[in-house]
Amino acid sequence: DARVTQTPRHKVTEMGQEVTMRCQPILGHNTVFWYRQTMMQGLELLAYFRNRAPLDDSGMPKDRFSAEMPDATLATLKIQPSEPRDSAVYFCASGEGQGQSYEQYFGPGTRLTVT
């Protein structure tokens, strides 16, 4: 049963520290998404990639967040420096399909707490 995996599942860090979250998309999926979920804002799309190329990162604070896909099996989301307001659950999702038939498959998330 193919799944999206994310590491770490939980991260507690102090303000100012660098945080790196990793995602392994489902093999063969060519689109990868990063979301952030908070009680106040709900689900927000941060960035997404197709065939490893960034398509849209307008949802990310550019000064501190960066997203990359070093290869087809790994996507990373980095925050440097982290701030308490970055505390949230970060989800990665991967997808395949064409036109109207797209489906996204979500990972279990990384729960980040910045103190």
Regarding 56 and contact with other proteins (CB under 8 A), the answer is yes
CA distance 74 to 25: 7
- The distance of closest approach from Cβ of residue 113 to other proteins in the complex, given in angstroms and rounded to an integer, is 15
Regarding 65 and contact with other proteins (CB under 8 A), the answer is no
> Which residue has 């009680």 as its token pair?
39
- The distance of closest approach from Cβ of residue 1 to other proteins in the complex, given in angstroms and rounded to an integer, is 12
By rule CB under 8 A, what count of residues binds other proteins?
25
> Which residue has 């520290």 as its token pair?
17
From the list 19, 34, 82, 109, which residue makes contact with other proteins (rule: CB under 8 A)?
109
Mask 4-43, x = binds other proteins (CB under 8 A)? x--------------------------x-x--------xx
Q: What Rg, from alpha-carbon coordinates, does the chain have?
A: 14
62 burial class (0-12, 13-18, 19+ CB within 10 angstroms)?
Answer: exposed
Count of CB atoms situated within 10 Å of the CB of 66: 15
Q: Between vectors from CA 26 to CA 24 and to CA 30, what angle results, nearest 5°?
A: 100
Residues that bind other proteins (CB under 8 A): 4, 31, 33, 42-43, 45, 48, 50, 55-56, 91, 93, 95, 97, 99-109
